[in-house]
Amino acid sequence: MGLADIVIKFVLIVIIFAISLVVAMYSTYAERKVAAFFQDRIGPNRAGPWGLLQPLADGGKMFLKEEIIPTNATPFLFIVGPSLAILTACIGSAVIPWGQKLTIGSHVVDLQVTDINVGVLYIFGVVSLGVYGVMIGGWASNNKYSLLGAIRAASQNISYEISMGLSIIALLMLTGTLSLREIAEQQHGFWANGWFTWNVFRQPLGFLIFIVCAFAETNRSPFDLPECETELVGGYHTEYSSMKLGFYLFAEYINMFISSAVMATLYFGGYNFPFMHHLGLSENLVTILGVVFLFAKIFAFIFFFMWVRWTIPRFRYDQLMDLGWKVLIPLAIANIILTGLITTFLK
């Protein structure tokens, strides 16, 4: 890899990191606007035109608020918790293919930071690490409500990771690869040889299980029991203020963005769109349109996350665990068996 390639990769990493932060920042604005729409209100409309500067005002407030570390907290781990949460949220984007290759002069730019052949396992590894930020923060606060929220988060994430992993196994049986790039390439276009190419048509039950688990993994309502204010004040981040609290909130929205990108890539064709190579467009233009379509799918999923939050009340904790262990895991196992039978007898 030459110097120019290293510079291109570095620029790509910075761009993806910046986009993740901007999407997370304006997801807070979108969340409040969506909530206002469902509740017949206006929402943020004071800071800038249509309230578009509200996220900047919120960010400034977070930075300028007083930093407080409780007397009985463990200072080092109290800081490590939110730092680990935001770190694991950001590194998940490294293996996502954001588009096909882009030709700029004599250089070919691959719109993916790294194409490792175990990209799906990498995503699961990052998701598994994310819960440590919540656990450490809740424990280091030395607060019973924070600790209870952290324990809830750990048991919830572990429970739903099993269902999520099993739902992916059925998909991997069809694709035969762990590379996100190859999975996206196999869904080329939208229709080929009399079949829909997107995996959601081949694995509808697997997708349904995956998206339910994605809600649980990102602690989004109705699975937001780790920060249930009616029982735990604020849950694992009760004692946090200023930008350390901001890191936890940002990590949730970045996780929502990355989860949406993963679902779009695994089940909805990623950067592929219908008849992409039958429109007579140049390869670069097709690549750019592919990026636009991918982000349109991502924003549709983000809107769905918000729609569900402001529509469905949260579960009781026993209902949440029952759904994970007694419903989703048996369904995921049945999906694996059904997929195996279909692939065996329809070959």
Q: Which of 7, 6, 332, 331 is nearest to 173 (CA)?
A: 332
Q: Provide the 10 A C-beta neighbour count for residue 344.
A: 8
Q: Let me know if residue 196 belongs to a domain.
A: yes
Stated length of the chain? 347
Spatial separation of the C-alpha atoms in residues 123 and 240, rounded to whole Å: 28
Domain that holds residue 271: 59-100+111-345
CA distances from 80 to 119, 135, 223 (A): 26, 11, 25
Q: Tens of pLDDT along 8-48?
A: 888 889 999 999 999 999 999 999 999 999 988 988 888 88
**Structure token pair of residue 243:** 């930008």
Q: Which whole-number Å values give the CA distances from 331 to 22, 267, 320, in the listed order?
A: 37, 18, 16
Whole-model pTM above 0.85?
yes
Q: Report, as an integer, the average pLDDT of 199-227.
A: 89
How many separate domains does the chain show? 1
Does residue 249 belong to any structural domain of this protein? yes
25 is a domain residue: no
Question: 98 in helix, strand or coil?
Answer: coil
pLDDT score of 166: 93
Q: Rounded CA gap, 339 and 317, in Å?
A: 32
Task: State pLDDT tens for residues 303-342.
Answer: 999 999 888 888 888 898 999 899 999 999 999 999 999 8
Determine, yes or no, domain membership for 132.
yes
Domain assignment present for residue 295? The answer is: yes
Taking only the tens place, the pLDDT of each residue in 106-148 is 778 888 888 888 889 999 888 888 888 888 988 898 888 888 8
| Residue 107 bridge partners (DSSP) | 104
**Greater model confidence, 246 or 233:** 246
Within a domain: 298: yes
283 in a domain, yes or no?
Answer: yes
Does 3 fall in a domain?
A: no
DSSP H or E segment with residue 38: helix 3-38
pLDDT for res 3:
77
* The CA-based dihedral angle spanning residues 173, 174, 178, 181, taken in that order and rounded to the nearest 10 degrees: 180
